[in-house]
Amino acid sequence: MNKTIRKLAYPYYGWLYFLAIVPIAIMFVLIFFDIEGISFGEASFTFRNFGLFLEPSTIEAFLNSFLFATMATLVSAVLGYMVAYPVFRSRFRNKFIILTLFILPMWSNMLLRTEALGNIMERHNIYTDLLGLESGFNLRGSNLAVLIGLVITYLPFMILPIYTALEKIDPSLEEAALDLGVSEMRKFWKVVFPLSFKGVITGCIMVFLPCMSGFAIPEILGNGNIMLIGNIIEQSFRNMSYNLGSLLAITILFFIFGSLLIVNKVDKDGGTLI
């Protein structure tokens, strides 16, 4: 009987191969050709596209992406843990409400939230007007603005995996630790934190990757001054230079496959991914 049910999963293999693996192969081929769009009519084999890596703008974008993503990940990991842990410890045990609390902001459109955040980062904004303040300070367009935007937008993706991982810890382990005479502090560092670490890893990956590759947040909050790798990919595809865009996309894919392997290692059944 199980064999019949098993068949339900087979079409999904095809779907995933066709929509996830085939395009990567296409992009890989596009890297080596010198064409516009995907018309292979007058394609000629070339390594010229790799020259893109030597351009100062690309190098800067890579550095920027890496820096912003790392900073945003670190900040949200610390903040995320410091929020997830007290919420988990509180007597408030209704997981549904907690989930709703952290997911609800996502119900306003991401771009709209970013734009609203950008508006209140300007010198004159709706809050200074309401409170009658003379002027605030202008953050929009600065690095800090982009960092704040990234952290606020992606924090739920850090909190939820950590919370899920904390919830899965067997409470008797904590009791055992206390019975054996450790202090609350040592119990946390020796028992709770290591056991919830896979949630932290998953959260870090879920924050790091979109921060590195996104293009809307840096564009809206950075006023177009701050270029991340996502912005360059977006521009290349808009200018029909698919091969350059593919090259950068493939580069990002290396990071993603690295993360995929990490997730597969620390979390075999994907239990903390959602």
Partner 1 sequence: MTKYPKASVEEYGYKNQRFLRKAYQIFNKVLVVLVIFLMYLPVITIALQSFNSSSELTAFGSFTFKWYGEIFQHPMLSSAIQNTVIVSLSSTLLATVLGTFIAMGIYYLSPKAKQRILLLNNIPILNADIVTGISLMLVFSLLLPIFPYMFGLPTLILGHLFFTLPYVILSVLPKLGEVDSNLMDAAADLGLKPIKSLWKVMVPAVKAGIFSGMLLAFTMSVDDFVVSYYTTGNGYDNLSIWIYGSIGRKSLTPAVYAFSSLLTLGTAIVLLTVNLLSKRKVRNK
Q: Please report, as residue ranges, which positions from 22 to 41 form the binding site for partner 1 (by CB under 8 A).
A: 22-24, 26-27, 38
Pick 30 or 177: Cβ nearer partner 1: 30
| Residue of the chain from 13, 47, 137, 254 that contacts partner 1 (CB under 8 A) | 13
216 near partner 1, rule: CB under 8 A: yes
Site for partner 1 in 99-138 (CB under 8 A): 99-117, 119-120, 122, 124-126, 129-130
139 near partner 1, rule: CB under 8 A: no
Sign of CA dihedral 227, 231, 233, 235: negative
Site for partner 1 in 43-72 (CB under 8 A): none
| Residue of the chain from 230, 243, 244, 247 that contacts partner 1 (CB under 8 A) | 230
Provide the 3-class DSSP secondary structure of residue 41.
coil
Site for partner 1 in 174-203 (CB under 8 A): none
Contact between residue 85 and residue 166 where contact means Cβ atoms under 8 Å apart: yes
Candidates 46-54, 138-146, 188-196, 242-250; binding stretch for partner 1 (CB under 8 A): 242-250
194 to 14, 170, 190: CA distances (angstroms): 38, 13, 7
Q: Which residues pair with 45 in a beta bridge?
A: 33
Pick 49 or 246: Cβ nearer partner 1: 246
Report d(CA 133, CA 131) in Å as an integer. Answer: 6
8 near partner 1, rule: CB under 8 A: yes
Neighbouring C-alpha atoms within 13 Å toward the C-beta of 169:
27
Phi first, then psi: give them for residue 58, nearest 5 degrees: -65, -45
73 near partner 1, rule: CB under 8 A: no
Candidates 18-26, 43-51, 53-61, 170-178; binding stretch for partner 1 (CB under 8 A): 18-26
Contact between residue 43 and residue 33 where contact means Cβ atoms under 8 Å apart: yes
Candidates 2-10, 46-54, 55-63, 189-197; binding stretch for partner 1 (CB under 8 A): 2-10
Write the secondary structure of 117-147 as one string of H (helix), E (strand) and C (coil).
Answer: HHHHCCCCCHHHHHHCCCCCCCCCCCHHHHH
